[in-house]
A = this chain, B = another copy of it.
């Protein structure tokens, strides 16, 4: 049920088997489902629950008065949001789903019930926050210093790695239900420029990103372009395989659309 989350917690060793069981027991039955492109929260909302993403993708987005939009983080399976809730603070940003989303409310009492202190859920929350703050810092760097190709490459590396950590990648590909517009809002570029850049990237043969499917043909090269170092994600970096032994998908760009169906 809440596989992604528990999987990640166990992996980093923060949650005991008992804790995992307790957690599954207590929050398992409370799943909530949302459709794609639904708004979950808007600025000013206050609520005391933290949500756990079980399946699907959502994002947090800040909007300027004149309509410029910036996605400030993606919420993938296994992620918690938003810690501000833990403190009863109002949101300053929008949270909306990008795909269908399965979510569980984590009530405060769960946190304490599973054994507060440094070995229970309390620590899980701390780690979640630390992770998100590391990601957020990396985004500042990404948007502040890197060029268009580098930004996009970095974002793709990050998302792929995070999905990999919760078992949602298959060899060198994964489902990533974002539009180019979403990518643009995440990396601070215009959709037009994202499109041109993505095209040239697939032409150069290292990634394909079409209709919600990301295929990484040459991880080494992509990571090199991005200057990607997975350590900040607190995940042991299991490199995805590149394309199967010299199938040489990189030679032609034209059949990308086949691969990514």
A85 nearest CB neighbor, chain B only: B130
Q: Are A129 and B137 in contact (CB under 8 A)?
A: no
A72 to B141, CA, bound (A): 7
- Contact A231 B140, beta carbon cutoff 8 Å: no
Q: A72-B137, A86-B126, A92-B134 are in contact. Are A144 and B188 (CB under 8 A)?
A: yes
**Those of A124-141 within 8 Å (CB) of chain B:** 126-127, 129-130, 132-134, 136-141
Q: Answer whether residue A69 sits at the interface, using C-beta atoms and an 8 A cutoff.
A: yes
Determine whether A83 belongs to the interface, using a CB cutoff of 8 Å to chain B: yes
- Tell me the A residues contacting B by CB distance below 8 Å: 60, 62, 64-65, 68-70, 72-73, 83-84, 86-87, 89-90, 92-93, 116-117, 123, 126-127, 129-130, 132-134, 136-141, 143-146, 187-188, 227, 229, 231-232, 234
Provide 15 A-B residue pairs closer than 8 Å at the C-beta atoms, listed in order of the A residue: A60-B137, A62-B138, A64-B141, A64-B145, A68-B145, A83-B133, A84-B133, A87-B130, A90-B231, A93-B137, A136-B136, A136-B140, A139-B140, A140-B143, A143-B143
